């Protein structure tokens, strides 16, 4: 919403400076987006007159002109290239040192082809007043009397433009008068009384009938439609002052009739429309559109209509969208003689919906979708009639009104104590009353102990309850008066607040970063192809209005985003990349389908111990065990014992089928996947392998058992542990995990630990389809030292258990 | 040597042995000397064998003399050995020289990084936890009802359009899910799920279909909500001031409220913070929107707005991060560029605490 300072002063009697106005507007919720002050940009330019012009001795196209820049002072010499420069011309002069906005230069004293120019005569383009650059500005001859004055003063351009960003709840401030009312309430002046109108109600009936044709359930689309006919107008350009104001706020002057409607819309927040009455066929009807109907809009484009949209039509069909835009065919022109003025009320919701469907952003929509003052239907019509009669002459008819404006007298029971209770500010009753009345409320005091009855003005559809009135009071009284008040806090040391899951998420982040991985945050949405590669891409997870195809489907997991990020790093020449993310992914659109994952990728040689070449030995390429190690370390840091879970070979398709695994508790609970990525996955995402990756499902991890603070007593044993090595020859496919599990289970009391110290798959064994696995078994006696016999017995048990489980034989 | 040694024999033997010890040049040589002197077949043992041939009255004296000799020789051997050991160690150390200027790896703890947004997330929670706020969460995929309607944003309200909402395809019943445009639905979930008094913060990802230099289609917010019977705007102001002081780690912070409008709060305010907090005096930074929870919102959650009141605020975590740590471009937050992450990221050990400093 833009307005000029002089326009504001039409409604507000004030001595406040521009700076004071700016600060107050922002403080009371009318945020100033910007102020365009012509004095800053064009203040140095002066009215000047050429008193003599002669050819430049050394240049055909240049003239040397003598310019009178101050009344009575001797003229100064200026070099000018404009073809229209001539003796007697009154124009605009820029002295040396002036910044010329249109050409982005500052004038300095330097000779032009040997003649020193003491300034410049300017074109309109140089002042950024228009695109006209062919010649210098020619002011009317009577401006000769104002030589020496600042050009913006002489031309009436010295009027700062204030641009306010309106919140959607303030339709009243879509008119300058509404802004003036707020400022007056806030103490920056007084609101001037409404102007008195001349006689606007004529003595003949409006020859064009107006009708509302809605069903009962759609009648709110346009509950009131008023019109007045003016016969015999003489249309033409509107007066210069009006054109200047319209231009200043970004509106293009059209003709007096149209300019009046735009002016009132801007001045009062009351949109209007004018029809060339001679182009109408029959009655004017407000109704819903019909499929297949169309019309040519004022913007020259054709619009299709549907049955949700409110249109204004005559016998020939729709003329325009009610509350949004009129039609080209029925609009007024310079030739218009008889005019029909429309002032109506259109429903905010339907106006917004139609506006969105058509993509039309107009000044009328801006106002109607916020809620135009329903009580302004007739006063707006009268104001427009008055201005049109003054500008174009003509004879007004009586007005016609179909329907009734939905004027609602909202009365709110308001206990003044509410102000202090909600805001903490101490505002006196008198001040509360003053503020509300200044904003247009009428107040009936309730008397002792009873709330006041506050009637809300019709232009404030946003005020519904006591809280809204508190807002009005505190924003006008000043939010700087809110006293900072400590929030009561427990008189104890702060208690922990995080849930187990939140603590796990926080710990998981730091655990993974402690393994040398760097945390990334990647988009929650992906290209569809990427989602599909990772088991996602369900129709339910497609955005209906994605910002691009690259961000169109919710991610099924975190890996695709991480792998893409990895690829981008590779493209920058960084190949050892270790990234992780802790965040949400989506199995479906139901609330329970969102899950928390900790996932990571390693490429090149980015191992936990360090990557790259080193004098101490170059790091090897990452592999499945780097990923497995990340998973196990993460689980351990979350107090989940990974060795209690089973490792199975059924990782999803995006992993390398031979070098990947799934960590699970039982058949249903999957804790994690890990492995090298499938070469096809890497190819599809255009990433160089090998890449080791893992996904841990935080929500699937078993809950931490509630336990006391005290740690269990440490049982220490002085008896020496005994270590024994066993080497088994096994079929190549036997899992080492099975060997270990069998050995551990051979004597649970005695066997404390089993580790794999050797795996050998080459040589003669390979030919037989065999391999050898060496395990070290730690035996921990509890009551007495083990004898050779004891050791032999447990060794037999281990050998037998491994053989039974895996078919492995002790290597001879 | 005769079958029995005389005193002078012993004397010359001692001289000879001591000379041999002194002449031993390294540890193997001294060992050889030791075996030759003290071994089972060594010179001392030889002498002792002659003991049996002596008349009984001489045996005692002789034995004593030989033992004394043995003692002196043994001492000499030990002393020489110690000298040689020392020399050998010196020699070994002289040989064991390495280039200690060779570089070493810093190890994974030094390599890894925490994303700045996660760090600031932890910082905010640490501060609000001290004020008794717990952390509430909600899903990204939300219903229209929780994201808008219950928050007092009716279907055709212009405020709804300003949210640039991402929608999913309509369901068979005409409803359609959306990506939450703010963390405010968590307010609703909390109020529907528990009775006041309520003090929560709700951090998380939010989405708007908007993308340019300063907007990304996904970003992070942290929402605050206090509901009880007495909390007013003064408390809100204090909480925000205290938060800003703790977060920006300054003793004083200038703050101003500007009236604004959000459908879910009444009164509504935008809050500017004096940029002194980030070392830029004289400017104001718009950091958040807030207000007293709208009575309709309280009523929509089944609570009595005549009885309960309180405030809510929402602040961009990414924006806080940019302001505090001087990070220029929002879009880089989500690019996964290792150079950026390593530069702006935090060490694992920078755990925000109130005792040690919120920046870790």
Say if CB A724 and CB A769 are below 8 A apart.
no
Interface test with A, best of B100, B112, B132, B295 (most A CBs within 10 A): B112
The residue in chain A having the minimum alpha-carbon distance to the alpha carbon of residue B352 is A506
Same domain? A231 vs A292? yes
B292, pLDDT greater than 50: yes
Cross-chain residue pair A554–B141, CB shorter than 8 Å: yes
Same domain? A661 vs A573? yes
Provide the CATH number for the domain around residue A97. 2.40.50.140
pLDDT average, residue stretch A471-482: 95
A538-573 in b/e form (b: 16+ CB < 10 A) is: beebbbeebbeeebbbbbbbbbbbbbbbbbbbbeee
Q: Give the number of beta-carbon pairs within 8 Å between A and B.
A: 265
Same domain? B240 vs B128? yes
The residue in chain B having the minimum alpha-carbon distance to the alpha carbon of residue A542 is B168
Chain B contacts in chain A segment 323-362 (CB below 8 A): 348-350, 352-353, 356
Name which of A327, A320, A286 is nearest A305 in CA terms.
A320
3-state helix, strand, coil in chain B (%, to 5): 45, 20, 35
> Regarding predicted confidence, which is higher, A491 or A35?
A35
Q: Phi and psi at residue A405, in whole multiples of 5°?
A: -60, 140
Same domain? A733 vs A751? yes
Residue B169 belongs to some domain of the structure: yes
A55, pLDDT greater than 90: no
pLDDT average, residue stretch A173-198: 95
Cross-chain residue pair A490–B132, CB shorter than 8 Å: yes
Residues from chain A that touch B102, judged by Cβ atoms under 8 A, are: 615
Interface test with A, best of B100, B104, B107, B108 (most A CBs within 10 A): B108
pLDDT average, residue stretch A576-604: 96
Same domain? A392 vs A417? no
Name which of A631, A635, A576 is nearest A607 in CA terms.
A576
The residue in chain B having the minimum alpha-carbon distance to the alpha carbon of residue A513 is B112
Same domain? B118 vs B187? yes
Domain limits at B279?
A: 114-344
Cross-chain residue pair B140–A425, CB shorter than 8 Å: no
The pLDDT tens digits for A596-607 are 999 999 999 999
Pairing state between β A770-779 and B134-135: unpaired
Pairing state between β A284-288 and A210-213: parallel
Residue B337 to chain A, least CA–CA distance (Å): 6
Same domain? A11 vs A53? no
3-state helix, strand, coil in chain A (%, to 5): 30, 25, 45
Residue A711 belongs to some domain of the structure: no
A564, pLDDT greater than 80: yes
Say if CB A38 and CB A158 are below 8 A apart.
yes
Residue A573 belongs to some domain of the structure: yes
Residue B359 belongs to some domain of the structure: no
Percentage with pLDDT > 70 across chain A: 100
Residue A45 to chain B, least CA–CA distance (Å): 32
Same domain? B303 vs B265? yes
Name which of A417, A322, A419, A421 is nearest A365 in CA terms.
A322
Averaged confidence pLDDT in chain B = 90
- Cα separation of A284 and A340, whole Å? 10
Provide the CATH number for the domain around residue A618. 3.30.930.10
C-alpha separations of A676 from A604, A643, A645, A649 in Å: 12, 21, 20, 13
- Cα separation of A536 and A549, whole Å? 15
Same domain? A184 vs A228? no
Give one DSSP letter per residue of A157-211, joined into a string: ----EEEEE--TT-GGGGSHHHHHHHHHHTTS-EEPPPPPP-----SS--SS-EE
pLDDT confidence of residue A344: 96
Residue A217 belongs to some domain of the structure: yes
Interface test with A, best of B120, B255, B267 (most A CBs within 10 A): B267
Q: Which DSSP category does B212 fall into?
A: B
- Cα separation of A138 and A152, whole Å? 14
Same domain? A645 vs A744? no
Q: Does A255 touch chain B (CB under 8 A)?
A: no
Residues from chain A that touch B212, judged by Cβ atoms under 8 A, are: none
Residues from chain A that touch B133, judged by Cβ atoms under 8 A, are: 497
Same domain? A651 vs A785? no
Say if CB A746 and CB A764 are below 8 A apart.
no
Give the pair of three-digit tokens for residue B323.
């302001």
Cross-chain residue pair A482–B122, CB shorter than 8 Å: no
Cross-chain residue pair B108–A608, CB shorter than 8 Å: yes
Interface test with B, best of A172, A541, A544, A618 (most B CBs within 10 A): A544
Residue B2 belongs to some domain of the structure: no
Nearest to A370 among B133, B158, B230 (CB): B158
- Cα separation of A808 and A801, whole Å? 9
- Cα separation of A388 and A394, whole Å? 8
Sign of the C-alpha dihedral, residues A792, A798, A804, A807?
negative
Same domain? B119 vs B214? yes
pLDDT confidence of residue B360: 66
Region of poorest pLDDT, from A253-267, A526-540, B49-63: B49-63
- Cα separation of A142 and A149, whole Å? 13
The pLDDT tens digits for A662-688 are 999 989 999 999 999 999 999 999 999
Nearest to B132 among A169, A489, A561 (CB): A489
Interface test with A, best of B104, B137, B158 (most A CBs within 10 A): B158
Chain B contacts in chain A segment 15-44 (CB below 8 A): 26-29, 31
The pLDDT tens digits for A627-656 are 999 999 999 999 999 988 999 999 999 999
Q: How confident is the model at residue B158 (pLDDT cuts 50, 70, 90)?
A: low
The residue in chain B having the minimum alpha-carbon distance to the alpha carbon of residue A422 is B232
- Cα separation of A138 and A676, whole Å? 79
Same domain? A246 vs A329? yes
The residue in chain A having the minimum alpha-carbon distance to the alpha carbon of residue B138 is A591
Same domain? B231 vs B203? yes
Same domain? B66 vs B125? no
Same domain? A537 vs A635? yes
The residue in chain A having the minimum alpha-carbon distance to the alpha carbon of residue B238 is A484
pLDDT confidence of residue B2: 43
Same domain? B83 vs B127? no
For chain B, the straight-line distance linking the first and the last C-alpha, in angstroms and rounded, comes to 86
Q: Does A475 touch chain B (CB under 8 A)?
A: yes
Cross-chain residue pair B258–A26, CB shorter than 8 Å: yes
Tallying the residues shown for chain A, one arrives at 812
- CB neighbours (10 Å) of residue B36? 14
Give the pair of three-digit tokens for residue B227.
């509901």
The residue in chain A having the minimum alpha-carbon distance to the alpha carbon of residue B351 is A510
The distance of Cα A190 from the centroid of its chain, to the nearest Å, equals 37
Residue A205 belongs to some domain of the structure: no
- Cα separation of B16 and B33, whole Å? 12
Give one DSSP letter per residue of A501-526, joined into a string: HHHHHHHHHHHHHTTT-EE----SEE
Same domain? A72 vs A17? no
- Cα separation of A748 and A745, whole Å? 6
Q: Give SS3 for A415.
A: coil
The residue in chain A having the minimum alpha-carbon distance to the alpha carbon of residue B348 is A510
B3, pLDDT greater than 70: no
Name which of B341, B342, B358 is nearest B350 in CA terms.
B358
- CB neighbours (10 Å) of residue A450? 10
Provide the CATH number for the domain around residue A338. 3.50.40.10
pLDDT confidence of residue A514: 97
Residue A513 belongs to some domain of the structure: yes
Residues from chain A that touch B256, judged by Cβ atoms under 8 A, are: 479-480
A432, pLDDT greater than 70: yes
Give the pair of three-digit tokens for residue B81.
């050995």
Number of domains in chain B: 2
- Cα separation of B92 and B98, whole Å? 13
Chosen domain end from B63, B95, B127: B95
Chain B contacts in chain A segment 433-452 (CB below 8 A): none
pLDDT confidence of residue A396: 96
Residue B62 to chain A, least CA–CA distance (Å): 51
Residues from chain A that touch B273, judged by Cβ atoms under 8 A, are: none
Residue B187 belongs to some domain of the structure: yes
pLDDT confidence of residue A683: 95
The residue in chain B having the minimum alpha-carbon distance to the alpha carbon of residue A472 is B267
pLDDT confidence of residue B163: 67
pLDDT confidence of residue B162: 65
> Regarding predicted confidence, which is higher, B158 or A569?
A569
Q: Phi and psi at residue A2, in whole multiples of 5°?
A: -115, 150
Same domain? B42 vs B152? no
Residue B221 belongs to some domain of the structure: yes
Cross-chain residue pair A594–B140, CB shorter than 8 Å: yes
Residues 6+ apart with CB under 8 A from A352: A365, A369, B156, B157, B158, B161
Q: Phi and psi at residue A47, in whole multiples of 5°?
A: -75, 135
Beta bridge partners of A415: none
For chain A, the straight-line distance linking the first and the last C-alpha, in angstroms and rounded, comes to 93
Tokens 């039309």, residue located: A360
C-alpha separations of A342 from A236, A261, A326 in Å: 20, 10, 11
Same domain? B53 vs B151? no
The pLDDT tens digits for A393-417 are 999 999 999 999 999 999 999 999 9
Residues 6+ apart with CB under 8 A from A440: A181, A457, A459, A460
Residue A705 belongs to some domain of the structure: no
- Cα separation of A778 and A791, whole Å? 11
CA angle A321, A326, A332 (to 5 degrees): 160
Name which of B82, B81, B86 is nearest B37 in CA terms.
B81
Region of poorest pLDDT, from A197-206, A270-279, B57-66, B221-230: B57-66
Number of domains in chain A: 6
Residues 6+ apart with CB under 8 A from A548: none
pLDDT confidence of residue A253: 93
Chain B contacts in chain A segment 366-405 (CB below 8 A): 369-370
pLDDT average, residue stretch A313-317: 93
A21, pLDDT greater than 90: yes
Cross-chain residue pair B233–A425, CB shorter than 8 Å: yes
The pLDDT tens digits for B261-273 are 999 999 999 999 8
Same domain? A679 vs A783? no
A574, pLDDT greater than 70: yes
The residue in chain A having the minimum alpha-carbon distance to the alpha carbon of residue B140 is A594
Cross-chain residue pair B168–A540, CB shorter than 8 Å: yes
Q: How confident is the model at residue B238 (pLDDT cuts 50, 70, 90)?
A: very high
pLDDT average, residue stretch B201-221: 90
Same domain? B180 vs B261? yes
pLDDT confidence of residue A491: 77
Q: Which helix (H) or strand (E) holds A809?
A: strand A809-810
- CB neighbours (10 Å) of residue B87? 13
Chain B contacts in chain A segment 559-578 (CB below 8 A): 561-562, 564-566, 568-569, 572, 574, 577-578
Tallying the residues shown for chain B, one arrives at 360
Chain B contacts in chain A segment 159-178 (CB below 8 A): 167-170
Residues from chain A that touch B261, judged by Cβ atoms under 8 A, are: 29, 167-170, 462
Cross-chain residue pair A31–B113, CB shorter than 8 Å: no
Whole-model pTM above 0.80? yes
- Cα separation of A186 and A436, whole Å? 11
Cross-chain residue pair A423–B234, CB shorter than 8 Å: yes
The residue in chain B having the minimum alpha-carbon distance to the alpha carbon of residue A566 is B336
Q: Does A216 touch chain B (CB under 8 A)?
A: no
Residue B303 to chain A, least CA–CA distance (Å): 16
Residue B358 belongs to some domain of the structure: no
pLDDT confidence of residue A433: 96
Same domain? B39 vs B157? no
Q: How confident is the model at residue B1 (pLDDT cuts 50, 70, 90)?
A: very low
Burial of B326 (0-12, 13-18, 19+ CB in 10 A): exposed
Provide the CATH number for the domain around residue B265. 3.30.930.10
Q: Phi and psi at residue A419, in whole multiples of 5°?
A: -60, -50
Beta bridge partners of B201: B135, B224
Residues 6+ apart with CB under 8 A from A539: B169
CA angle B133, B136, B138 (to 5 degrees): 160
Averaged confidence pLDDT in chain A = 93
Domain limits at A143?
A: 40-154
Same domain? B186 vs B300? yes
Cross-chain residue pair B105–A514, CB shorter than 8 Å: no
The pLDDT tens digits for A492-537 are 888 888 999 999 999 999 999 999 999 999 999 999 999 999 999 9
Say if CB A122 and CB A93 are below 8 A apart.
yes
């Amino acid at each position: 919403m833009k307005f000029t300072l002089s326009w504001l002063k039409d409604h507000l009697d004030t001595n406040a400076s521009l700076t004071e106005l700016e600060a107050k507007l922002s403080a009371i919720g009318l945020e100033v987006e910007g102020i365009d002050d012509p004095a800053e940009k064009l203040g140095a330019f002066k009215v000047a007159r050429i008193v003599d012009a002669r050819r430049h001795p050394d240049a055909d196209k240049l003239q040397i002109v003598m310019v009178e820049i101050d009344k009575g002072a001797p003229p100064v010499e200026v070099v000018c290239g404009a073809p229209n420069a001539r003796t007697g011309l009154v124009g605009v002069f820029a002295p040396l040192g002036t910044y010329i906005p249109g050409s982005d230069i500052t004038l300095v004293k330097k000779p032009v082809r040997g003649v020193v120019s003491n300034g410049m005569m300017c074109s309109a383009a140089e002042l950024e007043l228009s695109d006209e650059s062919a010649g210098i500005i020619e002011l009317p001859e009577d401006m000769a009397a104002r030589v020496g004055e600042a050009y913006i003063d002489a031309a009436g351009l010295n009027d700062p433009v204030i641009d306010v960003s309106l919140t959607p709840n303030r339709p009243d401030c879509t008119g300058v008068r509404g802004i003036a009312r707020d400022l007056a309430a806030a103490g920056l002046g007084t609101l001037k009384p409404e102007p008195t109108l001349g006689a606007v109600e004529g003595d003949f009936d409006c020859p064009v009938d107006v009708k509302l044709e809605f069903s009962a359930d759609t009648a709110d689309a346009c509950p009131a439609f008023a019109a007045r006919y003016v016969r015999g107008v003489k249309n033409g350009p509107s007066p210069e002052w009006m054109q200047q104001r319209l231009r200043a706020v970004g509106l293009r002057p059209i003709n007096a009739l149209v300019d009046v409607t735009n002016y009132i819309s801007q001045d009062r927040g009351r949109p209007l429309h004018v029809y060339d009455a001679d182009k109408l066929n029959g009655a004017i009807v407000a109704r819903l559109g019909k499929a297949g109907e169309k019309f040519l809009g004022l913007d020259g484009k054709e619009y299709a209509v549907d049955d949700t949209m409110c249109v204004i039509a005559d016998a020939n069909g729709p003329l325009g969208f009610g509350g949004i835009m009129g039609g080209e065919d029925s609009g007024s022109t310079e030739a218009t003689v008889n005019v029909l003025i429309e002032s109506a009320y259109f429903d905010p919701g339907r106006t917004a919906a139609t506006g969105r469907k058509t993509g039309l952003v107009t000044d009328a929509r801006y106002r109607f979708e916020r809620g135009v003052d329903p009580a302004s239907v007739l006063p707006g019509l009268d104001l427009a009639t008055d201005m049109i009669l003054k500008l174009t002459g003509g004879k007004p008819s009586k007005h016609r009104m179909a329907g009734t404006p939905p004027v609602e007298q909202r009365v709110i029971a308001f206990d003044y104590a509410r102000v202090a209770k909600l805001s903490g500010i101490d505002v006196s009753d008198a001040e509360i009353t003053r503020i509300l009345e200044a904003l247009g409320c009428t107040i009936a005091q309730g008397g002792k102990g009873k709330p006041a009855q506050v009637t809300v003005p019709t232009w404030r559809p946003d005020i519904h309850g006591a809280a809204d009135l508190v807002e009005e009071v505190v924003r006008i009284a000043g939010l700087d008066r809110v006293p900072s008040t400590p929030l009561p806090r427990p008189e104890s040391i702060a208690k922990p607040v995080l849930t187990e899951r939140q603590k796990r998420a926080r710990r998981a982040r730091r655990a993974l970063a402690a393994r040398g991985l760097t945390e990334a945050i990647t988009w929650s949405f992906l290209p569809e192809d990427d989602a599909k590669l990772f088991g996602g891409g369900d129709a339910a997870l497609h955005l209906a209005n994605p910002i691009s195809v690259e961000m169109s489907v919710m991610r099924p997991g975190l890996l695709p985003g991480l792998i893409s990020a990895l690829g981008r790093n590779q493209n920058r020449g960084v190949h050892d990349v270790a990234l992780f993310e802790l965040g949400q992914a989506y199995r479906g659109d139901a609330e329970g389908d969102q899950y928390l994952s900790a996932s990571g990728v390693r490429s090149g040689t980015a191992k936990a111990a360090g990557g790259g070449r080193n004098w101490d030995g170059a790091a090897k390429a990452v592999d499945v065990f780097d990923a497995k190690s990340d998973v196990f370390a993460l689980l351990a840091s979350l107090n989940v014992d990974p060795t209690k879970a089973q490792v199975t070979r059924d990782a999803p398709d995006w992993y390398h089928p031979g070098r990947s695994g799934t960590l699970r508790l039982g058949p249903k609970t999957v804790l994690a996947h890990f492995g090298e990525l499938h070469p096809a996955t890497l190819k599809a995402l255009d990433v160089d392998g090998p890449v080791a990756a893992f996904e841990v499902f935080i929500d699937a991890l078993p809950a931490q058992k509630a336990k006391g603070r005290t740690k269990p007593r440490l049982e220490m044993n002085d008896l020496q542990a005994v270590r024994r090595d066993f080497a088994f020859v096994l079929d190549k496919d036997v899992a080492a995990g099975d060997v270990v599990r069998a050995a551990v289970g051979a004597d649970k009391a005695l066997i404390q630990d089993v580790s794999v110290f050797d795996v050998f798959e080459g040589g003669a064994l390979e030919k037989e389809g065999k391999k050898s696995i060496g395990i070290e078994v730690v035996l921990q006696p509890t009551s007495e030292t083990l004898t050779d016999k004891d050791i032999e017995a447990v060794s037999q048990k281990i050998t037998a258990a491994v053989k039974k489980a895996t078919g492995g034989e002790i290597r001879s | 040597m005769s079958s029995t040694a005389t005193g002078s024999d012993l004397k010359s033997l001692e001289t000879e042995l001591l000379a041999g010890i002194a002449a031993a040049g390294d540890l193997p040589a001294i060992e050889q000397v030791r075996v030759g002197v003290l071994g089972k077949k060594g010179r001392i043992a030889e002498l002792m064998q002659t003991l049996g041939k002596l008349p009984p009255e001489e045996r005692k004296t002789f034995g004593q003399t030989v033992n004394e000799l043995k003692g002196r020789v043994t001492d000499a051997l030990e002393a020489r050995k110690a000298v040689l050991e020392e020399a050998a160690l010196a020699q070994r150390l002289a040989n064991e020289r390495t280039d200690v200027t060779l570089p070493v790896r810093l190890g994974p703890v030094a390599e890894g990084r925490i994303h700045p947004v996660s760090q600031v997330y932890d910082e905010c929670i640490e501060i609000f936890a001290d004020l008794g706020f717990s952390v509430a969460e909600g899903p990204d995929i939300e219903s229209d009802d929780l994201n808008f309607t219950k928050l007092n944003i009716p279907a055709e309200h212009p405020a709804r359009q300003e949210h640039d909402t991402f929608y999913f395809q309509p369901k068979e019943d005409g409803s359609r899910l959306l990506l939450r445009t703010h963390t405010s639905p968590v307010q609703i979930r909390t109020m529907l799920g528990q009775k006041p008094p309520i003090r929560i913060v709700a951090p998380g990802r939010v989405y708007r279909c908007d993308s340019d230099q300063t907007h990304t289609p996904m970003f992070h917010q942290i929402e605050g909500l206090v509901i009880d019977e007495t909390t007013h705007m003064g408390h809100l102001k204090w909480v925000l001031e205290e938060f800003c002081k703790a977060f920006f780690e300054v003793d004083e912070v200038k703050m101003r409220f500007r009236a604004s409008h959000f459908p879910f709060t009444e009164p509504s305010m935008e809050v500017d913070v004096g940029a002194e907090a980030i070392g830029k005096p004289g400017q104001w930074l718009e950091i958040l929107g807030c207000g007293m929870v709208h009575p309709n919102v309280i009523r929509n959650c089944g609570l009595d707005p005549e009885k309960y009141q309180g405030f809510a605020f929402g602040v961009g975590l990414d924006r806080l991060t940019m302001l505090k740590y001087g990070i220029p471009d929002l879009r880089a937050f989500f690019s996964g560029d290792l150079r950026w992450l390593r530069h702006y990221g935090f060490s694992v050990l920078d755990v925000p605490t109130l005792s040690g400093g919120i920046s870790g």
